[in-house]
Amino acid sequence: MPTMLRRALCAGLATAALLPAAALAAWPEHPVKLVVPYPPGGATDVIGRIVAQRLSTALGQNVLIDNRGGAGGNIGADIAAKAKPDGYTLLMAAMTSHSTMARLERGKLAYDLVKDLVPVQVVGFVPLVFVVHPSVPAGNFQQLLSFAKANPKKLTYASSGAGAPQRMAVEMFRVQSGADMIHVPYKGSGPAMTDLVGGQVLMAAETVPAALQQIKAGKLRALAVTTPQRISMLPDVPTVTESGWKDFEVVSTFGVMAPAGTPPEVLAKLNTEIGKIMQDPAAKEQFLQQGVYVLPPQTPAQAAERLRAEVAKWAKVIDETGVRADE
């Protein structure tokens, strides 16, 4: 092969090898979609909109919210899991909810949470708070228990889906107390809160972002939070532990995930940029105002380990309580 031709061929091959890297360096070249697997108004939606707004600035491209509620978050998660792994479709994951549904619907889901989705960054966690409609004659957690046990099947409780942490918290309360209550599932926290405020259901263990406004307005009564210590957003509300219960801790963890197979360079860029958002004091305050407690930035490997821990924890709770997806 002539020397000049050989040199031209080698140069062409070198240029071709650089094309994928160049393409990744240009990412994103058009808007990115962030799938929120619940209707507007709930905690996942609130967190997703903060992330999308700030990530749009960081990436120089719009990050657009796509609400795909239903089936306990499985519809939206399935859409994201099956999307082209090019970095243009992401999932604002309610990692705790998806972990519980992975157990409740094992063998039935059209996607595999651990195999088909990759954690990019764990954003933070949201405490839950037990709230009741003002018509319920309970001013604290112990009075709620007394009312529930004295009135079998009268206390209805809402949740944002079959496997939501909101349901898991009440199921833990139900099993430990022996109270006979009725579960009323909804497609998200927004509709659940609407009916709770309206008195169609009487109780919920809801995420603080979804319930805070109604609590402050006096439309719901807060009885106890599900964290080991009191939280800054509801400093006057005792914990479940303070109310006489031991080892009762339920928080909802949220993070950004991407379809498996998304280029590592894109995942690394997203991980870095979301990590910067989480460390920004103004962003931290914005999250905190919504009841979201930001976690220190994690590597993708650490985020994956957090997801595996969630899956293992809630599989154990579901097995112990006997919760079923169709109840």
**What's the rounded Cα separation, in Å, for the pair 105 and 237?**
34
pTM over 0.75: yes
pLDDT tens across 147-189, in order?
A: 999 999 999 999 877 777 888 999 889 888 899 999 998 877 8
Residue 21 neighbours by CB distance under 10 Å: 11
| The predicted structure's pLDDT at residue 327 | 63
pLDDT at 25 over 70: no
Please give the Cα distance from 19 to 239 (Å, whole number): 56
Q: What six digits make up the tokens of 126? A: 């949201």
Residue count of the chain: 327
Tokens in use for 249?
């801790």
Cβ atoms within 10 A of the Cβ of 293, count? 18
Of the candidates 137, 141, 122, 148, the one whose C-alpha atom is nearest the C-alpha of residue 239 is 141
* Whole-angstrom distance, CA of residue 166 vs CA of residue 206: 5
DSSP string, 12-29: HHHHHHHHHHHHHHH--S
Pick from 7-21, 62-76, 134-148, 269-283: least confident: 7-21
Determine which of 2-11, 90-99, 217-226, 304-313 has the lowest per-residue pLDDT on average: 2-11
Residue 16 has pLDDT above 50, yes or no: no
**Number of Cβ within a 10 Å radius of residue 261:** 10
**Which pLDDT score, from 0 to 100, does residue 70 have?**
86
Give the pLDDT confidence of 47-61 residue by residue, as tens digits. 999 999 999 999 999
pLDDT at 316 > cutoff 90 = no
Write b or e for each residue in 62-86: b if 16 or more Cβ atoms lie within 10 A of its Cβ, otherwise e.
ebebbbbbebbbbbbbbbbbebebb
Backbone dihedral angles phi then psi of residue 117, each to the nearest 5 degrees: -130, 145
234 DSSP assignment: S
Tell me how many helices (H) and strands (E) the chain has: 12, 10
Task: Give tens-digit pLDDT for 255-279.
Answer: 999 999 999 999 999 999 999 999 9
Which residues face 127 on adjacent strands? 251
Residue 294: strand pairing partners: 124
Query: What confidence tens digit (pLDDT) does each residue in 124-155 have?
Result: 988 999 999 999 999 999 999 999 999 999 99
